[in-house]
């Protein structure tokens, strides 16, 4: 049996557990993560529970902690469902909840073996960082419950894009994600095309779309509206308005799009700050939701995921779930306002990050500490943008810190695909390191992206321990110490 068939069978078994709980009229208590993938997974779960006529309560959390579980452990006649989290916290779940009443739909590496019903790609040697997201696993379970749930495929794609799983050629989704895309196309709820990967390609004036683009982050243009206007007017020389209305990327002719791409690539290569591959990534695969209205931010799956991520990071996850459930009009206006505030925050944080002296270098690590300046819900996004865009050196993983209250610090660790190929596994490294820090410290995540919570004052110790662990990881895999860059 192929690994794909095994994960489908795994999801089928979990779906049977959900159907059994519904037949018993149990109350579903759903807990999901606050990022785009977690909110999309929560949206999928809410959809299929509503379609089943089940009673449920949904909660979105930044991190699964024991206090979250203690709050619900006395719930009678309940089934506890965890999406986009749970596998890395099996120990505290087993400690606080009856395992037979728990269901996990997650794509993070499992902490240990368990009797809990869980759908997880890592059980079948499928990479949960690149081949399927938490929303994707939840979608497969939903599809196993009823094939009519295939119309939820766009939410699985939105979740995968939110988790930056578009690692294929021209930023295409691979693995089981690609199979989910096929489901969506066959169902008529998804389209796949190639185009300019600028944020807001259907909704924003061209200069604003360029300004808001952070993947890739374009030094000198991203976050700088005036510079974007000047670049488009003086260098690209395309009309930005038609009949006094601002044009969008989707309004451009093919000739204009070609010229814009050519000038952008030349600009990005000019200062020598970006590689040819990074510059050319401005063109790639785009996933369209044809059932959404044209010229709305929900029509482009990447922009959809950005909206959900903004809702979670700005403490408005309920708005994101409402959008997933089909709420539009006023709710969408609120979400767009939240996203605007979020982008302004990101721009300010990136301005802080690029100041001299912000990054601390070690032999096998680099780090920066946001203290109370950077919101702990956003620190991971800043780390991702910094290393993926080349704002900071890409030869070593980055560790980012931000105070998160209650005398704790949020840690976000990010690596590149090349670093992972050399043998670096940030999830394993952090899980090992926090054991030497404090009993209060927790960690989890993938090889390429991971996170932790540690007590304030233990940051230096964590860095020292991680530096040694990563050195060992590189040595154990026979990797060269030579940088790709």
The CATH number of whichever domain residue 386 belongs to comes to: 3.10.310.40
Choosing from 346, 370, 390, the residue where a domain stops is 346
Task: Tell which residue, 163, 252, 161, has the closest CA to residue 210.
Answer: 252
- In a shared domain, residues 159 and 241: no
Q: Which tokens sit at 58?
A: 């949904």
Cα(85)–Cα(128) distance, integer angstroms: 12
pLDDT of residue 390: 76
Domain boundaries, position 450 = 360-476
- In a shared domain, residues 12 and 158: yes
pLDDT of residue 478: 47
- In a shared domain, residues 159 and 44: yes
pLDDT single digits (tens) 316-371: 999 999 999 999 989 999 999 999 899 889 888 988 998 999 999 999 999 999 99
Cα(314)–Cα(331) distance, integer angstroms: 15
At 410, phi and psi to the nearest 5? -85, 130
Q: Would you say residue 130 lies in a domain? A: yes
Q: Would you say residue 174 lies in a domain? A: no
At 98, phi and psi to the nearest 5? -70, 120
Q: Which tokens sit at 467?
A: 């530096």
Q: Would you say residue 173 lies in a domain? A: no
Q: Would you say residue 325 lies in a domain? A: yes
Q: Which tokens sit at 457?
A: 């004052």
Q: Would you say residue 354 lies in a domain? A: no
Q: Would you say residue 268 lies in a domain? A: yes
pLDDT of residue 27: 96
pLDDT of residue 481: 40
| Peptide bond between residue 70 and the one before it cis (omega within 30 degrees of 0) | no
pLDDT of residue 439: 81
Task: Tell which residue, 150, 90, 151, has the closest CA to residue 117.
Answer: 90
Q: What's the CATH number where 133 sits?
A: 3.90.1640.30
- In a shared domain, residues 299 and 206: yes
- In a shared domain, residues 239 and 135: no
Cα(457)–Cα(407) distance, integer angstroms: 9
Residues 6+ positions from 110 with CB-CB distance below 8 Å: 87, 88, 90, 118, 120, 122, 123
- In a shared domain, residues 121 and 97: yes
Tens-binned pLDDT, residue by residue, of the chain (485 aa): 578 899 999 999 999 999 999 999 999 999 999 999 999 999 999 999 999 999 999 999 998 988 888 888 777 789 999 999 999 999 999 999 999 999 999 999 999 999 999 999 999 999 999 999 999 999 999 999 999 999 999 999 999 999 999 999 999 999 999 999 999 999 999 999 999 988 888 888 999 999 888 777 788 888 889 999 999 999 999 999 998 899 999 899 999 999 999 999 999 888 656 778 878 888 999 999 999 998 889 999 999 999 999 999 999 999 999 999 999 989 999 999 999 899 889 888 988 998 999 999 999 999 999 999 999 999 999 999 888 877 888 899 999 999 987 799 999 999 998 999 999 999 999 999 999 998 888 999 999 999 999 999 999 999 999 999 999 999 865 443 433 33
Choosing from 119, 151, 167, the residue where a domain stops is 167
- In a shared domain, residues 329 and 217: yes
Q: Would you say residue 190 lies in a domain? A: no
Choosing from 148, 167, 186, the residue where a domain stops is 167
pLDDT of residue 123: 95
At 33, phi and psi to the nearest 5? -85, 160
Cα(64)–Cα(317) distance, integer angstroms: 15
Number of domains making up the chain: 3
- In a shared domain, residues 339 and 365: no
Are 111 and 85 in contact by the 8 Å Cβ rule? The answer is: no
Cα(330)–Cα(249) distance, integer angstroms: 25
Q: Would you say residue 184 lies in a domain? A: no
- In a shared domain, residues 392 and 470: yes
Are 456 and 442 in contact by the 8 Å Cβ rule? The answer is: no
- In a shared domain, residues 116 and 262: no
Q: Which tokens sit at 44?
A: 């999928």
pLDDT of residue 298: 95
- In a shared domain, residues 310 and 379: no
- In a shared domain, residues 147 and 14: yes
Q: What is the 3-state secondary structure (H, E, C) of the chain?
A: CCHHHHHHHHHHHHHHHHHHHHHCCCEEEEEEECCHHHHHHHHHHHHHHHHHCCCEEEEEECCCCHHHHHHHCCCCCEEEEEECCCHHHHHHHHHHCCHHHEEEECCCCCCCCCCCEEECHHHHCCCCCCCCCHHHHHHHHHHHHCHHHHHHHHHHHHHHHHCCCCCCCCCCCCHHHHHHHHHHHHHCCCEEEEEECCCCCCCCCHHHHHHHCECCECCCCCCCHHHHHHHHHHHHCCCCEECCEECCHHHCCHHHHHHHHHHHHHHHHCCCCCCHHHHHCCEEEEEECCCCCCCCCCCEHHHHHHHHHHHHHCCCHHHHHHHHCCCCCHHHHHHHHHHHHHHHHHHHHHHHHCCCCCCEECCCCEEEECCCCCCCCCHHHHHHHHHHHCCCCCCCCEEEEEEEECCEEEEEEECCHHHHHCCCCHHHHHHHHHCCCCCCCEEEECCCEEEEEEECCCHHHHHHHHHHHHHHHHHHCCCCCCCCC
pLDDT single digits (tens) 5-52: 999 999 999 999 999 999 999 999 999 999 999 999 999 999 999 999
pLDDT of residue 271: 65
């Amino acid at each position: 049996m192929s690994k794909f068939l095994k994960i489908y069978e795994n999801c089928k078994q979990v779906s049977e557990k959900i159907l059994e709980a519904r037949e018993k009229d149990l109350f579903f208590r759903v807990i999901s993560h606050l990022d785009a993938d977690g909110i999309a997974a929560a949206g999928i779960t809410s959809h299929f529970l509503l379609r089943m006529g089940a009673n449920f309560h949904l909660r979105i959390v930044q991190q699964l902690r024991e206090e979250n579980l203690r709050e619900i452990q006395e719930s009678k006649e309940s089934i506890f469902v965890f999406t986009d989290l749970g596998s890395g916290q099996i120990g505290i779940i087993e400690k606080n909840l009856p395992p037979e009443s728990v269901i996990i739909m997650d794509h993070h590496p499992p902490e240990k073996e368990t009797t809990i019903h869980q759908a997880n790609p890592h059980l079948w040697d499928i990479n949960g960082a690149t081949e399927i997201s938490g929303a994707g696993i939840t979608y497969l379970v939903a599809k196993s419950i009823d094939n009519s749930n295939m119309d939820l495929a766009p939410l699985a794609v939105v979740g995968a894009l939110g988790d930056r799983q578009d690692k294929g050629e021209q930023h295409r989704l691979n693995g089981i994600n690609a199979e989910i895309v096929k489901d969506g196309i066959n169902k008529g709820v998804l389209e796949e095309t190639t185009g300019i990967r600028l944020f807001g390609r259907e909704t924003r004036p061209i200069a604003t779309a360029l300004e808001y683009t952070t993947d890739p982050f374009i030094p000198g243009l991203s976050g700088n509206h005036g510079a974007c206007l000047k670049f488009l007017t003086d260098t690209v020389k395309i009309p930005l308005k038609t009949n006094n209305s601002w044009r969008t990327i989707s309004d451009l002719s093919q000739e204009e799009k070609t010229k814009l791409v050519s000038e952008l690539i030349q600009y990005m290569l000019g200062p020598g700050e970006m590689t040819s591959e990074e510059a050319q990534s401005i063109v790639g695969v785009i996933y369209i939701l044809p059932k959404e209205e044209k010229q709305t931010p929900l029509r482009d799956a990447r922009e959809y995921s950005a909206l959900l991520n903004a809702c979670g990071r700005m403490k408005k996850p309920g708005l994101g779930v409402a959008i997933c459930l089909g709420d539009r009009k006023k709710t969408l206006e609120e979400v767009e306002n939240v996203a605007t505030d979020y982008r302004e925050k990101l721009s300010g944080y990136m301005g802080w990050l690029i100041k001299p002296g912000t990054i601390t270098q070690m032999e096998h690590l680099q780090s920066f500490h946001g203290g109370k300046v950077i919101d702990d819900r956003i620190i991971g996004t800043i780390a991702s943008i910094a290393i993926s865009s080349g704002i900071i050196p890409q030869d070593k993983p980055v560790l980012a810190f931000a105070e998160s209250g209650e005398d704790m610090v949020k840690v976000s660790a990010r690596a590149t695909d090349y670093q992972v190929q050399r043998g670096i596994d940030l999830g394993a490294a952090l899980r090992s390191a926090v054991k030497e820090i404090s009993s209060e410290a927790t960690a989890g995540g993938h090889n390429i992206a991971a996170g932790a919570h540690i007590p304030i004052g233990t940051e230096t110790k964590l860095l020292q321990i991680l530096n040694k662990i990563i050195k060992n990881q590189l040595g154990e895999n026979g990797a060269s110490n030579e940088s790709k860059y």
